Structure 1
Amino acid sequence: MTIPISTFKRIKILSLFSMAAFAFACSSPNSTDSEKRYHNNFQPGEIWLDSDSVHINAHGGGILFHEGVYYWFGEHKTAGRGGNSALVGIGCYSSTDLYNWKNEGIALASVEEEGADIEKGCVMERPKVIYNAETGKFVMWFHLELKEKGYEAARTAVAVSDQVTGPFTYLRSLRPNAGQWPMEYTEAEKNQTFESELEWWTPEWMEALKKGLFVARDFEGGQMSRDMTLFVDDDGTAYHIHSSEDNLTLHISELTSDYTDFTGKYTRLFPGGHNEAPAILKRNNTYYLIASGCTGWDPNAARSAVASSIWGPWEQLGNPCVGDGSDLTFESQSTFVLPVQGMDDAYIFMADRWRPKDPIDGRYIWLPITFENEKPVIKWQDEWDLSVFDSQTVQK
């Protein structure tokens, strides 16, 4: 998406030299020592400096809270049109207050080895990390596309570490649930056949898609997995939620007890709905999903859904965003919902404002989620802090 580049605040233009420096600062994710400051609020869409006065580089990210510290894992982007490729890997930042972040380095690095899954130049997107108390391992999953193969691989990949900040050890990539049918399928559905040459987007094709055309197509090799997130339920069961079937259907898949593989139990969510960028939360024993449509790097209207069970049935709730800019999710796309520790009913909507021409300059849109009539609501705020959760009206 193309978005006007905002300027840094509190920079005094004293001369032609300082004007040039100002212009440079506006186009660069790095900042001078003089701009280093302590953050005490969120400013969605603005440059967000880490403790080294460098714009945070953790795109498409997710956050793990562990032993009193938040850890933000995200894609390390580089400058220029090739910056969406994984030339460095997946980075990690830490914070105790959510405003101020320390760069902990690269948690999982791409490698020089030719032909390796995570060879430099591959695509490593939307990393999420969860902790397994039984094994004592930190488990990372992310969307993987092989180098110079576009988005045809549609795989998910897993890595593990003994330390929260890494380095993570890469295990493998795969397409989930090979040789498995969705849990809701009847014997008749498992044995159904489809015409192989249906024209895309015709009513006949869409009806076949909803019945499982692509599930059957990918049955042997495993189901496609692109945009993804992880969710650990109250009982410790972990789930991998991903865009599948050529981004036309979301799948919710159960992970094994060590979180490093799939059990084969999964369900399809909104077949043909064209959803990606899933994010999920649980509130009052109710599950809420926030996702986006599929428009490439361009923003679109978010959508939401609710269910009393992770397995559904899921009911669509519409766009959770309200007000000016809501029709484009405030020029961003969802990536994660962060529960704020130590606060009741406090959730942060995390989204990315993509800049494909210069990915390193991508911006973060963090906004509070409130609930009205048991539906999630996201409103734009230029500046805000966690005190909003103290004053909001909570509808139980």
Structure 2
Amino acid sequence: MIKIKISIIAGMVFLLLSGALSSAGQGVNFDSKGRQLLRFDVLGNAVDAHDGEIACFNGTYYLYGTSYDCGYEWGNKGAPFCGFKVYASKDLYNWEDKGFLFDATTAIWQSRCNGATYGCYRPHVIYNAKTRRYVLWINVYDNRVGYRVFTSATPTGPFTEAAEPRLAVNSHMPVAGLNNGDHDTFVDEDGKAYLAYTDWRAKGAIVIERLSDDFLTGTGECVQSVTPGNTEAPCLFKRDGIYYLIYSDPNCGYCSGTGTSYRTAPAPLGPWSDPVKISDNSCGGQPSFVSAIKINSEAVYLYGSDLWNNAAKNEALANYFWAPLSFTPSGGIAPLDCMERQQFIKTKKPVQAKAAISTGADGFSSSDDITGEQQYAQSFMVKRSGILDKITVTLFKNNYPDADLVTEIYKADSGNLPQGTAVYTKSIPSAVIGWAPKNITVSPGIAVKEKQAYVIVLRTSATKGSFGFACNNQDIYAGGKVAVRKNNEEEFQVIPGLCLKFEVFIRPEKSGVAP
């Protein structure tokens, strides 16, 4: 039986489905088997912004988060810090990569946040109407307070670091210790701002402290132990005169499924109610944010959960669960309904270069199976003769491969498998392939014939690590097949229904430019 619930957010409709896939819907959180699905930006690269938030400023949505594409890996002392990214959207579906909030490649930021430290996480941005500045708070562990603060004239930055903030809690503890952790920022209707944060010295109790008028530091006015401990990841918001604090219960960083609870209060500093649990697993992740999005006199409260990548330390393949919260008549939050399928209806596709063949970007997950012992092939059918101008395949790397990735193109036999020798070969250095799935382009410049099938082969001689690809198992591309060959097998074996995410561009043979 199909269950349908509709909420409207600033002109975008959320259509929540259980048990069936709407032909109109796009951008699901999970596929029919419960696997995380990748979200892509308008250029077809995976969105790389985790453990952050969605904020809305002047009618535009901004997704802030920690980047993992450069290979940041918590606990790996040699891993670099990638920085914080921001994406912009008008509809919560078409995301445009706006780059990094500040330059994190400098020596000072690497020393503060790389894998040899506890790292830096959880960017949250609020707007100060008095100063007309956007204020960014991030969680760090290189100083006593546990946070650093920045300002910018725009929501996308660049952000400039302000003076180190002070807070009422743990202000006399050792520098660079586990003092304060995950946090959230909140601006009330009266213009006052608050910081909800995790007190590690109190074993994960949540503190809420009012910020100064410029939002750059604490005032000392606070309430401690809103939770008794063993919690983290607070999300603070207000609805119909009631203040809500949602949080991870219990605390469990990088967990693929920890609980979500909430408390309520008549004011930001309390008194706060007893807890109510609304999910045992946060739909496969850990709570990250709740965004109150105004629509005239109403508001929708968008809940976000980080779907950590099976507790891996590198989270470049992690995704998100996003869904509007539901409330009871008395103001209680209804239990989260993770559902088999939950979809967002997109409003308009971005204008992109016209490919001769495109698999689109919906319904793709990730697989990191290209190793020295296993190679993959994707066939495609050419519909018109011309020059094979370029091919893009969405690829990534994992666990530090010690050899490059090789891309080959063959003519296909009647079974959509490679035949003869390669008509094009290109070695792609491992260094240019990121940890988050992104479009990698090769430009063969070879003549192809109408109604001839060709095959892209992806292989490596790596003895450690692997390469991966974005793939869809819903049989979405009828013009070709995916096949795999292991070293102990002579022939490729077709994998029914599977499709890699790729595009093929063909230009007329006598033209110097792509159509």
TM-score calculated relative to the size of structure 1: 0.69
Change (3 A) 1:130 1:115: closer
Q: Is the 8 A contact 1:72 1:92 kept in 2?
A: yes
Q: Any idea what the Cα deviations from partners look like across 1:295-338, whole Å, max 9, x if unmatched?
A: 332232111111111111111242123xxxxx212211111101
Matched, 1:295 2:252: yes
Q: Is the 8 A contact 2:235 2:290 kept in 1?
A: yes
Please tell me the residue identity of whatever aligns with 2:158.
P
Matched, 1:237 2:192: yes
Deviation at 1:252, TM superposition (A): 0.4
State the alpha-carbon separation in 2 of the partners of residues 386 and 341 from structure 1: 19
Where do residues 354-365 of structure 1 align in structure 2 (5 Å cutoff)? 354-355=308-309, 356-365=312-321
Q: Is the 8 A contact 1:88 1:109 kept in 2?
A: no
Q: What is the aligned partner in structure 2 of residue 60 from structure 1?
A: 51
Moved more, 345-354 or 266-275: 266-275
State the identity %: 26
Deviation at 1:43, TM superposition (A): 2.5
Change (3 A) 1:371 1:115: closer
Q: Is the 8 A contact 1:57 1:360 kept in 2?
A: yes
Matched, 1:280 2:271: no
State the alpha-carbon separation in 1 of the partners of residues 285 and 176 from structure 2: 33
Please tell me the residue identity of whatever aligns with 2:344.
D
Please tell me the residue identity of whatever aligns with 1:228.
H
Deviation at 1:294, TM superposition (A): 1.6
State the alpha-carbon separation in 1 of the partners of residues 108 and 27 from structure 2: 44
Change (3 A) 1:131 1:270: closer
Deviation at 1:176, TM superposition (A): 1.8
Deviation at 1:39, TM superposition (A): 7.8
Change (3 A) 1:221 1:113: closer
Please tell me the residue identity of whatever aligns with 2:191.
G
Q: Is the 8 A contact 2:25 2:343 kept in 1?
A: no
Where do residues 23-102 of structure 1 align in structure 2 (5 Å cutoff)? 40-44=26-30, 45-78=36-69, 82=73, 87-102=81-96
Between structures 1 and 2, the one with greater strand share: 2
Please tell me the residue identity of whatever aligns with 2:244.
Y
State the alpha-carbon separation in 2 of the partners of residues 79 and 371 from structure 1: 40
Q: What is the aligned partner in structure 1 of residue 376 from structure 2?
A: none
Deviation at 1:349, TM superposition (A): 0.5
Please tell me the residue identity of whatever aligns with 1:351.
S
User: What secondary structure does 2:51 align onto?
Assistant: strand
Q: What is the aligned partner in structure 1 of residue 183 from structure 2?
A: 228
| Candidates 137, 140, 144, aligned match of 1:144 | 140
Change (3 A) 1:133 1:386: farther
Deviation at 1:101, TM superposition (A): 0.7
Moved more, 265-274 or 218-227: 218-227
| Candidates 104, 107, 110, aligned match of 1:110 | 104
State the alpha-carbon separation in 1 of the partners of residues 141 and 174 from structure 2: 20
Moved more, 222-231 or 52-61: 222-231
Q: Is the 8 A contact 1:255 1:263 kept in 2?
A: yes
State the alpha-carbon separation in 1 of the partners of residues 41 and 300 from structure 2: 24
Moved more, 51-60 or 112-121: 112-121
Change (3 A) 1:379 1:119: closer
| Candidates 332, 344, 347, aligned match of 2:285 | 332
Q: What is the aligned partner in structure 2 of residue 379 from structure 1?
A: 337
| Candidates 267, 272, 280, aligned match of 1:314 | 272
User: What secondary structure does 2:69 align onto?
Assistant: coil
Matched, 1:263 2:222: no
Moved more, 92-101 or 262-271: 262-271
State the alpha-carbon separation in 2 of the partners of residues 311 and 226 from structure 1: 19
Q: Is the 8 A contact 2:41 2:94 kept in 1?
A: yes
State the alpha-carbon separation in 2 of the partners of residues 64 and 274 from structure 1: 27
> Is the radius of gyration larger for structure 1 or structure 2?
2
Any stretches of 5+ residues in structure 1 without a counterpart?
A: 1-37, 147-151, 179-214, 322-326, 388-396
State the alpha-carbon separation in 2 of the partners of residues 297 and 221 from structure 1: 21
Deviation at 1:154, TM superposition (A): 6.3
Q: What is the aligned partner in structure 1 of residue 303 from structure 2?
A: 349
Q: Any idea what the Cα deviations from partners look like across 1:104-133, whole Å, max 9, x if unmatched?
A: 000123242258764555522111001111
Between structures 1 and 2, the one with greater helix share: 1
User: What secondary structure does 2:180 align onto?
Assistant: coil
Q: Is the 8 A contact 2:144 2:171 kept in 1?
A: no
Q: Is the 8 A contact 1:111 1:120 kept in 2?
A: no
| Candidates 290, 302, 305, aligned match of 2:263 | 305
State the alpha-carbon separation in 2 of the partners of residues 216 and 260 from structure 1: 16
Please tell me the residue identity of whatever aligns with 2:292.
P
Q: Any idea what the Cα deviations from partners look like across 1:238-282, whole Å, max 9, x if unmatched?
A: 101000143431110111111111111111133533210111221
Please tell me the residue identity of whatever aligns with 2:269.
W
Change (3 A) 1:374 1:157: same
State the alpha-carbon separation in 2 of the partners of residues 254 and 219 from structure 1: 23
Change (3 A) 1:354 1:116: closer
Change (3 A) 1:285 1:219: farther
Matched, 1:155 2:110: no
Deviation at 1:339, TM superposition (A): 1.7
User: What secondary structure does 2:73 align onto?
Assistant: helix
Q: Any idea what the Cα deviations from partners look like across 1:197-220, whole Å, max 9, x if unmatched?
A: xxxxxxxxxxxxxxxxxx697499
Deviation at 1:42, TM superposition (A): 4.5
Q: What is the aligned partner in structure 1 of residue 7 from structure 2?
A: none
Q: What is the aligned partner in structure 2 of residue 177 from structure 1?
A: 168
Deviation at 1:144, TM superposition (A): 0.5
State the alpha-carbon separation in 2 of the partners of residues 86 and 235 from structure 1: 41
Any stretches of 5+ residues in structure 2 without a counterpart?
A: 1-23, 31-35, 347-515
